[in-house]
Amino acid sequence: MFANIAEYADGWIPIGGAGIKQALPELAHACEEAGRDSSEMRIVPFGTLPDPGKLEYYASLGIEEVVLRLPGGDADSVLPILDGFAELVER
């Protein structure tokens, strides 16, 4: 999988993020094999729990962007959740 990402993609969107710390060196190696700089790959975990500790963990790995997990629903139920996300990411 990482060989294809390294050759054809500009980034990787892991779902959930489990095992990402162990996978990053594999991706870096695949990029090196493909003659690419792994630091130019955008890593964007998808479905991330909106937890400050989780965001800090990803930041410690050099990840600058995530897609937060958002439950479905109508505007009255989703908009307050998004307001909470805004407070979380403005830290």
**pLDDT of amino acid 89:** 80
Q: What digits encode the pLDDT tens for the residues 74-89?
A: 999 999 999 999 988 8
Q: What digits encode the pLDDT tens for the residues 6-47?
A: 999 999 999 988 899 999 999 999 999 999 999 999 999 999
How much is the pTM?
0.86
Question: How many separate domains does the chain show?
Answer: 1
Taking the C-alpha atoms of residue 7 and residue 17, their distance in angstroms, rounded to an integer, is 22
**pLDDT of amino acid 91:** 64
Domain around 44: 2-89
Helix (H, G, I), strand (E, B) or coil at 71: coil
**pLDDT of amino acid 41:** 96
Taking the C-alpha atoms of residue 2 and residue 9, their distance in angstroms, rounded to an integer, is 10
